């Protein structure tokens, strides 16, 4: 095999195998062994661009486990797909359109949706190609997309069940409003950043003709235009006499009452709080208790509304400046304090979030959270690392209702119709969908209003939060709500691997909706085994790849690393190995150039060890010895071989080591210790097999054949074979290439369908490792 290059050149090999695996549908679940099912749903990447290094870390870990299970005899399904990612995708497509000077409003809803579908084809296609190229052993015949008809139907089914059970309601409430995205977002989509700001102290005069006044403090002075009261603590002696009287709201010249409410902290500031029910969650509650008017002084795009009087039309930050200036001119600006405070910004576009009253759809979470909490406490879903379990339980304990409506154009449209005549709300009659311009929409359209008989019905324009559909993923992808063979075979999935950053967004909601939709109700016994209602039996939260400053990798910040470029330079297997070797549970990863180079050297080492064997074997062909004589599948399976009456010490040792390594790798992989699995096989292959075993047997395999030589040759090929199979989950391409250079019984397909090594080949190992270690020490001193 003189054609074996001296240095491992991964590009051509990887591309060839990636294509072959895909074309042959090698990882279709039906191709797996007939053993117990093992299933994983891919956390669907957002179709907002392409794969980044964080995806690659996640996919490497999933793929290692999936390949390992598949090789260990499980009927294995790794189901891939993509998420439509409502707000995220709409954001990037709007940004693309902006380059052409187009706003989505210019296009209208339908045309804009068409543009996004085009984008989806492009981005989704790119992600799929990248995953294939990076060796993800998914069953692409089962690929899914959250907006495709079957999954659209699942979402409507979910909505209707929750709606009819009274868990989904529509209400006017304070929500997090993003003026850039012009939609409400959930609490989880607001990120808090510490920023320098000001606390403005404003003086509101009493209207009783006295010169008296109260001073309130605010970080958002422009909201004072919507104040409808000031509040003091009922037991605050300083202000008791003011309660029930009025102050004059400056700039608006509106009389507003002084009210008493225990919400006020007497110790903070002056002990007087301005109350703006339409722009602050606490004030909203206070306002409800005291029947205060709610004055929304802003518009959807973050400008001041008509209710803001002469400030109407101004941008909210411009209005802030003007309000402060005007108050100062009136002598009502008591003081300005410099503070740093936490500002909520939109997770997606980083604009400042405006707490604002708005009519939205909500999902009651307490009834969903309680059974989930109990299940986690009872250990029905194993959470790894364990400390994440506490974090999850804490969150479930403090859960609040979920704002599920979004004022977007991209997503599952809420399946409710409004009667144009009487405003009655009519949910879809069933969860069926129909195709419109090639894409799904709700088909269970109500025909007439049962209340007024009107037939002019208009569907709700809001769409659902992306996570409302994502949380069905492990079962909607298997055919739910239908009872399909896939659902019966592969559900609940065996494992969920996700980043801990989406524990609340996704993982927790999957547990909650999974249990609920399976019929688990708080206080009522479930129809099936409770564990079978949880979408996954184990939950592994993997680390995040961070920059050296600790920030998350981010494309928008330019700190994202393109894994394709790194794989071009170093090879996919090397990058996979590097990521695996750093993936210790519970600790985030900072990429290191050195570690990548080390992994690349390892790939090259494996290549050259094999090359050495094949080159020397060639020399033996003159003696009539072929690889079939030495390394046929039967020969490899029958190893180890005796040299004469007994096993040679090196043989005995290397097989013992191999068995030990196999055992440790099985254990490591079963416990998500990817780094240990990677380092164990590294140490074995390089430190034991190359540095010692090959060196020891070199004299025999480089000289003319004898019986001992042949036994040695057979053993060495058997060890190579075992090594390749042990390595395969982490370095699939290289091992596939080398494995195909060994002889096989036809038909043969892939090392990926071979058995993962498990059992020791030589049982009698008393004292061998110790003896060899002693020998190695003697040899080392001799070298000195």
Task: Provide the pairing of β-strand 37-41 with 75-79.
Answer: parallel
- Per DSSP, the three-state class of 562 is coil
Cβ closest to RNA, residue 75 vs residue 611: 611
Identify the residue among 58, 139, 352, 676 touching RNA (CB under 7 A).
676
**Pick from 662, 663, 683: nearest CA to 577:** 683
Identify the residue among 102, 243, 349, 601 touching RNA (CB under 7 A).
601
For the segment 331-350, give every residue that binds RNA (CB under 7 A).
Answer: 341-342
Cβ closest to RNA, residue 49 vs residue 344: 344
Q: Is 767 in the site for RNA (CB under 7 A)?
A: no
Cβ closest to RNA, residue 549 vs residue 745: 549
Sign of CA dihedral 98, 99, 102, 104: negative
Phi, psi of 629 (to 5 degrees): -70, -30
Cβ closest to RNA, residue 266 vs residue 530: 266
Identify the residue among 73, 149, 205, 281 touching RNA (CB under 7 A).
281
Binding mask 6-45 for RNA (x = CB under 7 A): xxx-------------------------------------
Note the residue count of the chain: 784
Cβ closest to RNA, residue 402 vs residue 480: 402
State the minimum distance, in angstroms, from the CB of residue 68 to RNA. Answer: 17
Q: What share of the chain is helix, strand, coil (3-state, %, to 5)?
A: 45, 20, 35
Q: Is 509 in the site for RNA (CB under 7 A)?
A: no
Binding mask 530-569 for RNA (x = CB under 7 A): ----------------x-xxxxx-----------------
Whether 126 and 47 have beta carbons less than 8 Å apart is answered as no
Task: For residues 521 and 492, give the distance between their C-alpha atoms in angstroms, rounded to a whole number.
Answer: 18
Which stretch in 49-57, 81-89, 161-169, 675-683 sits in contact with RNA by CB under 7 A?
675-683
State the minimum distance, in angstroms, from the CB of residue 361 to RNA. Answer: 19
Whether 342 and 193 have beta carbons less than 8 Å apart is answered as yes
For the segment 437-496, give every residue that binds RNA (CB under 7 A).
Answer: none
Identify the residue among 52, 412, 657, 673 touching RNA (CB under 7 A).
673
> How many of the chain's residues bind RNA (CB under 7 A)?
77
Instruction: Give the Å distances, CA to CA, from 368 to 396, 464, 545.
Output: 9, 18, 32
What is 570-582 written as a DSSP string? H-HHHHHHHHHHH
Identify the residue among 329, 622, 759, 780 touching RNA (CB under 7 A).
780
Instruction: Give the Å distances, CA to CA, from 93 to 90, 96, 231, 349, 467.
Output: 5, 5, 45, 13, 19
Q: Is 217 in the site for RNA (CB under 7 A)?
A: yes
Task: For residues 33 and 28, give the distance between their C-alpha atoms in angstroms, rounded to a whole number.
Answer: 11
Identify the residue among 594, 645, 646, 745 touching RNA (CB under 7 A).
594
Binding mask 160-189 for RNA (x = CB under 7 A): ---------------------------xx-
Q: Is 53 in the site for RNA (CB under 7 A)?
A: no
Q: Is 320 in the site for RNA (CB under 7 A)?
A: no
**Pick from 167, 3, 8, 2: nearest CA to 609:** 8
Cβ closest to RNA, residue 425 vs residue 597: 597
For the segment 189-208, give every residue that binds RNA (CB under 7 A).
Answer: 191-192
Identify the residue among 531, 690, 753, 768 touching RNA (CB under 7 A).
690
CA 764 from centre of chain: 47
Cβ closest to RNA, residue 169 vs residue 686: 686
Residue 475 token pair: 């079962």
Whether 536 and 492 have beta carbons less than 8 Å apart is answered as yes
For the segment 237-276, give every residue that binds RNA (CB under 7 A).
Answer: 263-269, 271, 273-274
Phi, psi of 129 (to 5 degrees): -60, -40
Cβ closest to RNA, residue 612 vs residue 748: 612
Whether 392 and 376 have beta carbons less than 8 Å apart is answered as yes
């Amino acid at each position: 095999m003189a054609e074996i290059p001296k240095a491992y050149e991964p590009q051509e090999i990887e591309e060839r195998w990636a294509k072959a695996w895909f074309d042959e549908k090698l990882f279709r679940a039906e191709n797996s062994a007939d053993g117990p099912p093992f299933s994983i749903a891919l956390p669907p990447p957002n179709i907002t661009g392409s794969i980044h290094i964080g995806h690659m870390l996640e996919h490497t870990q999933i793929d290692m486990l999936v390949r390992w299970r598949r090789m260990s005899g499980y009927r294995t399904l790794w189901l891939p797909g993509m998420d439509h990612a409502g707000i995220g995708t709409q954001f990037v497509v709007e940004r693309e359109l902006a380059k052409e000077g187009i706003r989505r409003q210019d296009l209208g809803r339908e045309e804009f949706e068409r543009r996004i579908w085009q984008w989806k084809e492009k981005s989704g296609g790119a992600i799929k190609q990248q995953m294939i190229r990076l060796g993800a052993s998914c069953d692409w015949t089962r690929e899914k997309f959250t907006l495709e008809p079957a999954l659209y139907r699942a979402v409507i089914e979910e909505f209707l069940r929750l709606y009819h059970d009274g868990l989904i309601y529509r209400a006017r409430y304070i929500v997090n409003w993003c003026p850039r995205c012009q939609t409400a977002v959930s609490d989880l989509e607001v990120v808090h950043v510490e920023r320098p700001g000001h606390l403005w102290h404003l003086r509101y005069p009493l209207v009783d003709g006295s010169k008296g006044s109260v001073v309130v403090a605010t970080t958002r002075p422009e909201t004072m235009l919507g104040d409808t009261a000031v509040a003091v603590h009922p037991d605050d002696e300083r202000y008791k006499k003011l309660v029930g009287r009025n102050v004059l709201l400056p700039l608006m010249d509106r009389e507003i009452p002084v009210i008493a409410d225990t919400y006020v902290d007497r110790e903070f500031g002056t002990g007087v709080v301005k109350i703006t029910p339409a722009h602050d969650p606490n004030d909203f509650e206070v306002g409800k208790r005291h029947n205060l008017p709610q004055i929304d002084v802003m518009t959807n795009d973050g400008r001041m509304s008509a209710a803001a009087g002469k400030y109407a039309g101004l941008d909210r930050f411009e209005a802030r400046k003007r309000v402060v200036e005007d108050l100062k001119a009136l002598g009502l600006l008591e003081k300005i304090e410099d503070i740093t405070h936490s500002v909520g910004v939109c997770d997606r576009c980083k604009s400042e979030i405006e707490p604002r009253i708005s009519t939205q759809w909500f999902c009651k979470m307490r009834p969903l959270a309680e059974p989930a909490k109990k299940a986690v406490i009872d250990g029905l879903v194993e959470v790894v690392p364990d400390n994440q379990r506490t974090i999850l339980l804490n969150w479930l304990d403090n859960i609040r209702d979920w704002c599920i409506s979004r004022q977007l154009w991209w997503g599952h449209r809420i399946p409710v119709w409004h009667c144009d005549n009487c405003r009655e709300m009519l949910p879809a009659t069933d969860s069926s969908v129909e195709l419109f311009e090639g894409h799904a929409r709700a088909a269970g359209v109500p025909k007439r209003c049962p209340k007024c008989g009107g037939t002019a019905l208009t569907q709700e324009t809001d769409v659902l939060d992306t996570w409302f559909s994502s949380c069905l993923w492990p079962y909607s992808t298997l055919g739910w709500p239908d009872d399909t063979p896939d659902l019966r075979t592969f559900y609940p999935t065996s494992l969920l691997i996700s980043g801990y950053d989406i524990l609340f967004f996704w993982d927790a909601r999957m547990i909650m909706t999974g249990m609920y939709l399976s019929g688990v109700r708080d206080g009522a016994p479930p129809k099936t085994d409770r564990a079978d209602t949880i979408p996954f039996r184990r939950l592994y939260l993997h680390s995040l790849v961070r920059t050296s400053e600790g920030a998350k990798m981010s494309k928008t910040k330019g700190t994202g690393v393109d894994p394709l470029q790194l794989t071009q330079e170093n090879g996919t297997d090397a990058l996979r190995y590097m990521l695996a070797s750093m993936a210790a549970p519970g600790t985030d990863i900072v990429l290191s150039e050195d570690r990548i180079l080390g992994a690349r050297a390892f790939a090259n080492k494996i290549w050259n060890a094999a090359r050495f064997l094949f080159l020397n074997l060639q020399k033996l062909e003159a003696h009539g010895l072929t690889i079939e004589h030495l390394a046929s599948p039967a020969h490899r399976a029958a190893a180890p071989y005796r040299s004469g009456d007994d096993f040679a010490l090196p043989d005995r040792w290397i097989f013992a080591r191999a068995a030990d390594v196999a055992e440790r790798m099985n254990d490591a992989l079963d416990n998500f210790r990817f780094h240990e699995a990677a380092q164990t096989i590294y140490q074995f292959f390089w430190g034991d097999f190359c540095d010692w075993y090959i060196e020891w047997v070199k004299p025999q395999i480089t000289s003319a054949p004898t019986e001992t030589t042949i036994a040695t040759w057979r053993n060495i090929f058997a060890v190579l074979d075992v090594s390749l199979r042990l390595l395969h989950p982490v370095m699939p391409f290289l091992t596939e290439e080398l494995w195909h250079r060994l002889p096989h019984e036809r038909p043969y397909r892939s090392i990926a369908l071979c058995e993962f090594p498990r059992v020791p080949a030589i049982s009698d190992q008393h004292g061998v490792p110790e003896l060899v270690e002693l020998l190695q020490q003697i040899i080392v001193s001799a070298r000195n």
